[in-house]
Amino acid sequence: MDSAIARLFTANAQWADAVTHAEPGFFEESAKGQSPKVLWIGCSDSRVPESVITASKPGDIFVHRNIANQFPVDDDSALAVLTYAVEHLGVEHVAVVGHTQCGGAAACYQAAQEPPAAEAPATPLARWIAPLIDLARSLGPGAHESTAHALRHLVEANVRKQVDNICATPLITNAWAADRKVWVHGFVYVIEEGTLKDLGVSKGPRA
């Protein structure tokens, strides 16, 4: 077995033993089901593990992660996760979480500096990030704006866009029409500090 994979199994065994020692019966209770209150829609970046950075236990957070924490309104994977979270698990908070130093955002920012391509994106990755490139292009270059500042602006704008996308889904609009308590939030994880930033764009029933 490759050393990188072997390390995962060794670390897992040590973790399971430690949890069992600290909280006997934890895994037996976990096997009975889940009732998370939060759906986390985040980036696949390996530096942003939601359970670690929020000191959460298995079962606390339902998760959907992809490149650049996007929620396309026509993506069945994202919509299926949202539906299951709200309709079947009773999740009350949906958090879109971007992060600084995002490679996807950086690539889209650079691509936005070039004229739009004449041909349609040819690869799955290119198709996935195309909406973010369009968003970066729509923001335009800020006056006297550094690349670092422009990237942070793009990261935050992307989170706001995905919050709007989620709020526009029939699932959420119907939930709000029924006065169900489902809130949608926009956060950014600041990698340089290890902290979450609330963008102040939370939306909910009658909000």
Active site amino acids: 43, 45, 47, 99, 102
How far apart CA 206 and CA 204 sit, in angstroms, is 6
How far apart CA 155 and CA 173 sit, in angstroms, is 25
How far apart CA 118 and CA 102 sit, in angstroms, is 26
CB 205 within 8 Å of CB 181: yes
CA distances (Å), 151 to each of 36, 47, 160, 192, in order? 32, 18, 14, 14
CB 73 within 8 Å of CB 169: yes
One-letter amino acid identity for 153? H
How far apart CA 37 and CA 10 sit, in angstroms, is 31
